[in-house]
Amino acid sequence: MIPFLDLARLNAPHQHRIQAAMQRVAESGWYVLGQEVKAFEAAFARYVGVRHCIGVANGLEALTLVLKAWAFEAGSEVLVPSNAYIASVLAITHAGLTPVLVEPDPQTYTLDPARLGAALTSRTRAILPVHLYGRCTDMAPLLAFAATHKLRVLEDAAQAHGATYRGRQAGSLGHAAGFSFYPTKNLGALGDAGAITTDDDALAEQLRMWRNYGSAQKYVNDVPGHNSRLDELQAAILGEKLPFVAAENDRRRQLARRYLAELTLPDLTLPPADAVDADAWHLFVVRHPERDAFRTYLQQQGIGTDIHYPIPPYRQRAYATSWAGTDWPIAEAMHREVLSLPLNPTLTDDEVTRCVRTINAYMK
């Protein structure tokens, strides 16, 4: 059996470092907002190429806190891709704002900048591009549009640690970015964790309050903040794993290149191959017109897959009344056809060979 993702195997090469970090924190007597968080924030800011990193509880909080700190008037609209993961949409509504869905580019699965104009209203205040599957959104036209219309840009970089766009890292392309370190991400903690990156000094200062009860000084509260702190244990573990992300992403790129070159099943649509070395390949997502039958076949052959995602945000019960009667044909087709193949840094060459052979042998 080749599992879609085995988290124990993913962390096995790091076990000795993880154990040492956990012991260090356990014995330190300091467990929240201490030296480990400070050191990781500095290292991650350097890695992304920005001035500030603010560690927070998870990726959803990272996005929510930035939108709250920007303090747009109630009813303001945020443009977000119609095929986003639910967290991107939840962040907007948690901040009291209105998500306006914009269809993605059907080739890249990321927000299509050419469609922004039609979604713009006098209430639009921000754009939330999602670098889905580890590929950066086409940011140049998006940033030009944002500048013209005085909009803030919040990158959802939760799947894009180490992805680049024109030589710059995901998380350094907009006004601020949210990262997740959920265990399955390219940089994963042993629990929930997240971070915000930004070059904006004033925003960074605000966010350090927002994540800590709205307080810069103990028992003095300047904004109605959250308890959304990255804890010392997770920060220490992330700090140990960060130096290996670049090499692990390179291994992901190697495997992606093999899939792209060797998968020949006629009905299969492969992901875009134009930015193999820039993409972080968080997921290798193919499309098949009879996805569910194809997935069952792979399962029977011992190959685990996953679907990112089976139900789009606008069809979730959580938002039952928000978008009734509207349709997003591009996102709809994606959710029906996408399938994520096994791809992670610990996957062996032999395992990829088996995946490729099994997929290419599929007959309806």
Q: How far is the CB of 139 from ligand PLP (least distance, A)?
A: 16
Our finding on whether 92 is near ligand PLP (CB under 6 A) is no
Q: How far is the CB of 205 from ligand PLP (least distance, A)?
A: 23
Our finding on whether 344 is near ligand PLP (CB under 6 A) is no
**Contacting ligand PLP (CB under 6 A), which of 59, 81, 134, 171?**
59
Cα(141)–Cα(147) distance, integer angstroms:
10
**Contacting ligand PLP (CB under 6 A), which of 58, 124, 234, 305?**
58
Interface stretch with ligand PLP, choices 6-14, 39-47, 70-78, 80-88 (CB under 6 A): 80-88
Does the annotation count 185 as an active-site position? yes
Q: How far is the CB of 74 from ligand PLP (least distance, A)?
A: 24
- Taking Cα atoms as reference points, which of 197, 224, 151, 199 lies closest to residue 56? 197
**Contacting ligand PLP (CB under 6 A), which of 18, 50, 54, 60?**
60
Place of tokens 């090499």: 247
Cα(212)–Cα(353) distance, integer angstroms:
49
Binding to ligand PLP (CB under 6 A) within 212-271 occurs at none
Strand partners, 341: 284
75 close to 123: Cβ distance less than 8 angstroms? yes
197 close to 177: Cβ distance less than 8 angstroms? yes
Count the residues of the shown chain that bind ligand PLP, applying the rule CB under 6 A: 14
Q: Which of 38, 68, 150, 185 is catalytic?
A: 185
Buried b / exposed e over 223-233, threshold 16 CB at 10 Å, is eebbebbbbbb
Our finding on whether 81 is near ligand PLP (CB under 6 A) is no
Q: Which residue is nearest to ligand PLP (CB)?
A: 59
Two tokens, residue 220? 């003095």
162 close to 94: Cβ distance less than 8 angstroms? no
Cα(251)–Cα(239) distance, integer angstroms:
20
Any residues with CB less than 8 A from the CB of 243 and at least 6 apart, and which?
Answer: none
Interface stretch with ligand PLP, choices 37-45, 65-73, 82-90, 265-273 (CB under 6 A): 82-90
For the sheet with 194-198, list strands across it.
52-56, 194-198, 176-180, 152-156, 124-127, 77-81, 98-102
Our finding on whether 194 is near ligand PLP (CB under 6 A) is yes
**Contacting ligand PLP (CB under 6 A), which of 21, 78, 126, 130?**
130
CB atoms within 10 A of CB 320: 10
247 close to 233: Cβ distance less than 8 angstroms? no
Binding to ligand PLP (CB under 6 A) within 174-193 occurs at 180, 182, 192
Cα-Cα-Cα-Cα dihedral sign, residues 40, 46, 195, 106:
negative
294 vs 314, beta carbon nearer ligand PLP: 314
**Contacting ligand PLP (CB under 6 A), which of 64, 76, 88, 108?**
88
Our finding on whether 85 is near ligand PLP (CB under 6 A) is yes
Two tokens, residue 328? 């997003």
Q: How far is the CB of 283 from ligand PLP (least distance, A)?
A: 9
Q: How far is the CB of 300 from ligand PLP (least distance, A)?
A: 28
13 vs 191, beta carbon nearer ligand PLP: 191
Q: How far is the CB of 194 from ligand PLP (least distance, A)?
A: 5
Beta strands (DSSP E) in 70-208 are 77-81, 98-102, 124-127, 152-156, 164-165, 168-169, 176-180, 194-198
Binding positions for ligand PLP, rule: CB under 6 A: 58-60, 85, 87-88, 130, 156, 158-159, 180, 182, 192, 194
Please list the active-site residues.
185
